[in-house]
Amino acid sequence: MSAFAEWFALIPCGANTEQTEYYIDGGFTYLINNNLQLDISAGIGLNEAAIDYFVGTGCSICFP
């Protein structure tokens, strides 16, 4: 099991009216075996252009 935290931005390209969205999130990953990992994360928006909060889950598979 491991944990992560990150800051990221969504920067629009070619739009004059859209604003950059800033976020911070964190979560956990769990390596089931060498080829399969599960994860869960949650985060919040840091400015008015960003959504208030989000949650997510994921699955990563490595094809040898």
Q: Give me the phi and psi of 18, to 5 degrees please.
A: -80, 145
Q: What is the mean pLDDT of the chain?
A: 95
What's the predicted TM-score (pTM) here? 0.79
Residue 15 has pLDDT above 80, yes or no: no
Alpha helical stretches, state H, the chain: none
pLDDT in tens, 17-46: 889 999 999 999 999 999 999 999 999 999
pLDDT at residue number 18: 86
Q: Where are the domains of the chain?
A: 2-61
pLDDT at residue number 64: 79
pLDDT at residue number 14: 79
